[in-house]
Amino acid sequence: MRRHFIFALSLLLPFALAARADASLAGEGNALSPFFGGWVFWLVVGVVLLLLEMTAPTFYLFFFGIAALITMAFAFFTNQVLILLAVFVVTSAFLLIFIRPISRRMFLLAKESRASNVAALVGAVGTITREVGGDVSKGTIVIQGEPWSCIGAGPEHLPKGTRAKVLRISGNKVVVEALPPEQARGEQPTDESQS
């Protein structure tokens, strides 16, 4: 985290030094020139950092980019280099310390909570619509209204109409096994049937 913060500050340092030198030569104290202290500079920095975040999603540069855009809003009211840099540093620190962990947690929870595409099929139950004859013969299973190519998990023959469960994905086919009769009818297994 500290490395990214230093990286973002190093992006700003040459511009700030050049602006300071420009302002000193103009005899304006610590006021910035119109470009370096203006909203255009902070807009460019913010957009560049957001674009860099898109190329290397570290989830750090995004917050520096947002901080630069917030600093841009302050640049409409003042062109004092120290005030603008302080706004950028404080805003960056706030976003990284307080907002980043919350955003990251929300992003990761949303990502982990749902399986996507065929990965969501593992564990699903469907009905065989074209018989499956072991590892060699390919059949068809309908899961949630969609047909999928399937193969059997073992040498057993699974006739049309058999309720089956998806065990795993193998290439572009799902590997299935027949459900026990009590589960196929929707009944719960009893203690006697488990003995």
Domain of residue 144, residue span: 118-180
10 or 142, higher pLDDT: 142
Residues 17 and 108 in one domain: yes
pLDDT at 140 over 70: yes
Radius of gyration of the chain (CA): 30
Tell me, yes or no, whether 44 lies in a domain. yes
pLDDT at 1 over 70: no
Q: Which of 113, 142, 166 is the last residue of a domain?
A: 113
Q: Of the segments 8-22, 126-140, 146-160, which one has the largest average pLDDT value?
A: 146-160
pLDDT at 74 over 80: yes
- Whether the Cβ atoms of residue 63 and residue 92 lie closer than 8 Å to each other: yes
* pLDDT above 70 as % of the chain: 67
Residues 57 and 140 in one domain: no
Say how far residue 102 (Cα) sits from the centre of its chain. Answer: 14
170 in helix, strand or coil? strand
Q: How many domains does the chain have?
A: 2
Residues 104 and 129 in one domain: no
Q: Give the C-alpha distances (Å, rounded to integers) separating 52 from 15, 57, 89, 180.
A: 18, 8, 19, 54
Q: 162 Cβ partners below 8 Å, 6+ apart?
A: 127, 128, 178, 179, 184
Q: Which of 67, 90, 113 is the last residue of a domain?
A: 113
- Lowest mean per-residue pLDDT among 50-59, 129-138, 156-165: 129-138
Residues 173 and 147 in one domain: yes
pLDDT at 29 over 50: no
Q: Which of 60, 85, 113 is the last residue of a domain?
A: 113
Whether this prediction's pTM lies above 0.75 is answered by: no
Residues 71 and 100 in one domain: yes
Across the range 165-171, mean pLDDT stands at 88
Residues 67 and 155 in one domain: no
Mean per-residue pLDDT of the chain: 76
What's the CATH code of the domain at 150? 2.40.50.140
Tell me, yes or no, whether 62 lies in a domain. yes
Say which residue the tokens 């795993």 belong to: 168
pLDDT at 35 over 60: no
Across the range 152-164, mean pLDDT stands at 86
pLDDT at 101 over 60: yes
Residues 6 and 76 in one domain: yes
Residues 102 and 123 in one domain: no
